[in-house]
Structure 1
Amino acid sequence: MATSARSPYSNWFYLPAAVIYGILFAVPTFASFFFSLTRWSIFDWKFIGFDNFVTFFREPALVKGLTNTLIYALVTSGLKVVLGLLLALLLTSQIAGRGYLRSVVFFPVLVSTIGVGLTFTVLMNPDQGLINDALGVLGIDGPGWLTDPQYALLSVALVDVWKGVGLATVIYIAGIVSIPAEYFEAARMDGAGAWDNFRRIVLPLARPATVTVIILSLIGGLRSFDLIWAMTRGGPGFTSDVIASVIYKQYQAGFYGLSTAGNVVLFLVVTAIVLPLSRFLNRKEVEL
């Protein structure tokens, strides 16, 4: 009877990783779940059960933040997937200055998020911003990008896409260049055109890159805070608030238990969306 191979390493080698995981993830997670059931301050706490969660879902501003979070995540992740794939196709073609253009596309990823937010806040100023000035030259009356409730959340989402699409593009480039050249040569001999190459070779074989971009972009969109806070602080009113900004405002106001409950809601929302989606996409990938 064959015996299973034993690891040459002692189980004690797992202890440092387990300690780090426990201190940095497990303990804070369980503490957050516990304190979300309390009304607490720095010096004391009182157990109140699910009252914080009841309050959370009864507050219109908090529910609005949850809705905005889902909209923001869908818009930003969807655009990053589409634009990232299109840019990757362009930057893997025989275009002049390909290496330079790849650097240009990736550069926004390296810039500070707060810096990007402050820069675009100036550019999107409805009265003196460069964007509306440029539209005015064309005879177009530009809107209040960050002051009009209809445009505020979408404007921040577009800035998020501008900053993050470079990472999606790099992931797609890695996926496309890893496709064996023999597939394209065989397709060319069969008379396939550019559209056939894209539909029958690039799209299916770059699926792992697509899955990675979707998951990373969706997680980033659901957890987004710094760019929104730098550009609108959730305004005007609560129209561009997301869960993270609502949580921060509750902390500022001293409602620590309610804000902790918001953190738990955010954790559960991210987990409930990302884990099933990841399993679904990876299962489909294996079936292909």
Structure 2
Amino acid sequence: MAITTERRLARQSKRPGRLPEKPRKSRQKSQYPMWFYIPAAVLFFTLFVVPTIASFYFSLTRWSLFDIEFIGFDNFVQFFREPMLVQGFVNTFIFGFITSGLKVVFGLLLAVLLSSQIMGRTFLRSVVFFPVLVSVVGVGITFRVLMDPFDGLINTALAGIGVDGPGWLTDPSYALLSVAFVEVWRGVGLATLIFIAGIVAIPDEYFEAATTDGASPFQNFWHITLPLVRPAMVTVVILSLIGGLRSFDLIWAMTKGGPGFTSDVIASVIFKQYQAGFYGLSSAGNVVLFVVVTAIIVPIFWFLNRKEADQ
């Protein structure tokens, strides 16, 4: 019986275009018993699953603190009829992709600089990471004062060199971009820290071999650092996109969605609905925001990890 099986496998391996089947790997059992996962499962169910299901339910109702009326998809229909929703959608994508892209670029460049042998490297790392530790609302209020079109320090400094500064937060053409650049300044430190961890993990033998072959610093960066820091880049892209698409507190502290609706994002539109007392409508907005973020992040995450696995 064993000889017959071996002969059949040998004949299959000799056929053109066919390879012998590989034996299936047995699934490795976890070294921990299943009840070890119960506390984490309870927390996940309580803090994520239950609120998510409740949000979906309340988005189908007209509710207050005292009564609930089921109205189906009327909230979603009304939400998409709001004139500021289209502007909020566009602004959300602009804000999310601009901040994410700039954090990746500046974070990687700063990480390369702060991983080299420069004077005061530890101090400079602390300086770059410091804005991450500051309150987002505090950052927003501070830059709102600095960007005041009349008495702000930025326009005062520009006037000192003969430049007429714009209304950074009062001009519809500049408001959203001004907040985006402040968000990049505030969040690039975390991206830099993740990139530094990825660069430090690269073995020194690669750079030593490249230096021996006469590679320039740019060639080291392009052919060694950039490919091997890819896992860190995937992390930065995903975290930055999620934060950018869900951003609210910095925008609200600096512009409150103004002037008009020019710097409104989906999250600020939802908050305005809460303020007006339309709780069911704002719950529908939360569901829309959840679906939009998931629809963008999941394909990007799958694509980036697939490319990483193919390399």
TM-score (norm 1): 0.96
Shift of 1:6: 5.6
Instruction: Confirm whether residue 147 of structure 1 aligns to residue 170 of structure 2.
Output: yes
Aligned-partner Cα distance in 2 for 1:22–1:282: 27
Matched residue of 2:62: which SS? strand
State how 1:23-38 maps to structure 2 within 5 Å. Answer: 23-38=46-61
Aligned-partner Cα distance in 1 for 2:107–2:257: 27
Shift of 1:60: 1.4
Structure 1 stretches lacking a partner, 5+ long? none
Please point out which of 190, 202, 205 is paired with 2:228.
205
Residue of structure 1 in register with 2:90 after alignment: 67
Instruction: Confirm whether residue 258 of structure 1 aligns to residue 298 of structure 2.
Output: no
Give the AA of the match of 1:119.
T
Residue of structure 1 in register with 2:3 after alignment: none
Shift of 1:42: 1.1
| C-alpha distance 7-184 of structure 1, shift in aligned 2 (>3 A) | closer
Give the AA of the match of 2:88.
G
Aligned-partner Cα distance in 1 for 2:126–2:43: 36
Aligned-partner Cα distance in 1 for 2:162–2:26: 79
Matched residue of 2:69: which SS? strand
Please point out which of 63, 87, 99 is paired with 2:110.
87
Aligned-partner Cα distance in 2 for 1:193–1:179: 17
Give the AA of the match of 2:117.
Q
Give the AA of the match of 1:257.
G
| C-alpha distance 4-261 of structure 1, shift in aligned 2 (>3 A) | closer
Aligned-partner Cα distance in 2 for 1:3–1:195: 45
Instruction: Confirm whether residue 182 of structure 1 aligns to residue 237 of structure 2.
Output: no
Aligned-partner Cα distance in 1 for 2:34–2:127: 47
Instruction: Confirm whether residue 234 of structure 1 aligns to residue 279 of structure 2.
Output: no
State how 1:8-47 maps to structure 2 within 5 Å. Answer: 9-47=32-70
Please point out which of 21, 42, 58 is paired with 2:81.
58
- Further displaced range: 244-253 or 40-49: 40-49
Please point out which of 186, 199, 223 is paired with 1:163.
186
Matched residue of 1:49: which SS? coil
Residue of structure 1 in register with 2:130 after alignment: 107
Shift of 1:15: 2.8
Contact persistence 1:234–1:242 (CA under 8 A): yes
State how 1:265-284 maps to structure 2 within 5 Å. Answer: 265-284=288-307
Aligned-partner Cα distance in 2 for 1:182–1:27: 50
Matched residue of 1:46: which SS? strand
Shift of 1:118: 0.5
Give the AA of the match of 1:245.
S
Residue of structure 2 in register with 1:219 after alignment: 242
Aligned-partner Cα distance in 1 for 2:44–2:276: 31
Please point out which of 147, 151, 158 is paired with 1:135.
158
Contact persistence 1:56–1:63 (CA under 8 A): no
Give the AA of the match of 2:257.
G
Please point out which of 217, 222, 225 is paired with 1:194.
217
CA-atom RMSD in angstroms = 1.5
| C-alpha distance 191-252 of structure 1, shift in aligned 2 (>3 A) | same
Say which one has the larger Rg: 2
Shift of 1:59: 1.2
Instruction: Confirm whether residue 172 of structure 1 aligns to residue 210 of structure 2.
Output: no
Aligned-partner Cα distance in 2 for 1:255–1:30: 19
TM-score (norm 2): 0.89
Matched residue of 1:64: which SS? helix
- Further displaced range: 157-166 or 187-196: 187-196
Structure 2 stretches lacking a partner, 5+ long? 1-24
Give the AA of the match of 1:63.
V
Residue of structure 1 in register with 2:5 after alignment: none
Shift of 1:3: 8.5
Shift of 1:174: 0.8
Of all paired residues, the percent bearing the same amino acid is 72
- How many pairs are equivalent? 287
Shift of 1:10: 4.5
Shift of 1:9: 4.8
